[in-house]
Amino acid sequence: MDKVIITCAVTGAETTKNQCPNLPVTPKEIADSAYECYLAGASIIHLHVRNNDGTPTSNLNVFKEAIDLIRKKCDVVIEITTGGAVGMTPEERILPVSLKPDMASLDCGTVNFGNDYIINTLPVMKMFASEMNKYNVKPTFECFDISHIISSHILIKEGLVKPPYHYGFVLNVPVALPYNHKILSDMIGLLPDQSEWTLMGIGRAHLPAIFGALSFDGNIRVGYEDNIYYSKGVVAKSNAEFVERAATLVKIAQKEVASPDDVRDFFKIK
Ligand code: ZN
């Protein structure tokens, strides 16, 4: 793909209103934030939803409300999480693919996650890929580690995921793989043909990862899920503020920002 896709992960499962007063939490807040991001140049919204008390949920009604509200406002590509939150069962996490979003994340392995951990066994990954096939949902292989790319090769070899492939590299999660150019280029080197990748630099890796994605011809993810600081000690006013900066950097790099239609065409999303 010759254009740059900007994804915004507007809410996530971990960020709280205490840390980040403008974090969108209700379906309406999430849809409003998604629309602002779309206007600023995001073509994919990565979606988590929350209960009224702010805790993460995989409740179908809440997901449906958020998806419907976003779709009423704009045609941005919707990628739901199936990573869910620490402690959810695989069955809970995969549930919202039945709502037929455009895309869904597919975590490709087990990893440390701060003081917690995320478990994804190969049978669970295969079950997730099969469910995504059933509902015609395009997976994003989320890789928190180099070995996760190897797991994705197994899903591809077994015909569970069809090209073109979308990878999400999640780097700088505490106690997991950090972000640097050497690690990034090693990961890119393991990708199969017909792959696009999006880089998520968590926390302070946020801005370096944007430059890394632009330097290595990848795609960008921003948003409160990955990082709340616009600059040192300054919490971003909104998700859209991150998208605006990313779109500006894409233009400075003499590249073009991809539209939702570009994303749907490239990944053959109907
Ligand atoms: Zn997520």
Query: Read out DSSP for the chain?
Result: --SB-EEEE-S-SS--TTT-TT---SHHHHHHHHHHHHHHT--EEEE-EE-TTS-EE--HHHHHHHHHHHHHH---EEEE-SS--TT--HHHHHGGGGG--SEEEEE-S-EEETTEEE---HHHHHHHHHHHHHTT-EEEEEESSHHHHHHHHHHHHTTSS-SSEEEEEEE--TTSPPP-HHHHHHHHHTPPSSEEEEEEE-GGGHHHHHHHHHHTT-EEEESTTT--EEETTEE-S-HHHHHHHHHHHHHHTT--BPPHHHHHHHHT--
Paired tokens of 136: 């015609």
Query: Distance from the CA of 144 to the center of ligand 1, in angstroms?
Result: 12
Query: Distance from the CA of 224 to the center of ligand 1, in angstroms?
Result: 10
Check whether 270 has a pLDDT greater than 90.
Answer: no
Q: What is the mean pLDDT of residues 8-30?
A: 97
Give ∠ CA 174-44-181 in degrees, rounded to 5.
40
**CA-to-CA distance for 54 and 85, rounded, in angstroms?**
12
Query: Distance from the CA of 261 to the center of ligand 1, in angstroms?
Result: 22
Topology (CATH) of 6-267: TIM Barrel (3.20.20)
Query: Distance from the CA of 167 to the center of ligand 1, in angstroms?
Result: 13
Query: Distance from the CA of 214 to the center of ligand 1, in angstroms?
Result: 22
Query: Distance from the CA of 74 to the center of ligand 1, in angstroms?
Result: 21
Query: Distance from the CA of 46 to the center of ligand 1, in angstroms?
Result: 6
What pLDDT does residue 225 have? 98
- When pLDDT is cut at 50, 70 and 90, the band that residue 110 belongs to is very high
Query: Side-chain half-sphere of 219: how many Cα atoms within 13 Å?
Result: 26
- How many residues does this entry show for the chain? 270
Query: Distance from the CA of 232 to the center of ligand 1, in angstroms?
Result: 23
Per the confidence metrics, is the pTM higher than 0.85?
yes
**CA-to-CA distance for 217 and 185, rounded, in angstroms?**
11
Which residues are placed with Cβ below 5 angstroms of ligand 1, an ion? 81
Query: Distance from the CA of 215 to the center of ligand 1, in angstroms?
Result: 24
Q: What is the mean pLDDT of the chain?
A: 97
What pLDDT does residue 136 have? 97
What pLDDT does residue 86 have? 84
Checking DSSP bridges between strand 44-47 and strand 165-171, what pairing results, if any? unpaired
Give residue-wise pLDDT tens across range 126-170: 999 999 999 999 999 999 999 999 999 999 999 999 999 999 999
Query: Distance from the CA of 76 to the center of ligand 1, in angstroms?
Result: 17
Query: Distance from the CA of 43 to the center of ligand 1, in angstroms?
Result: 16
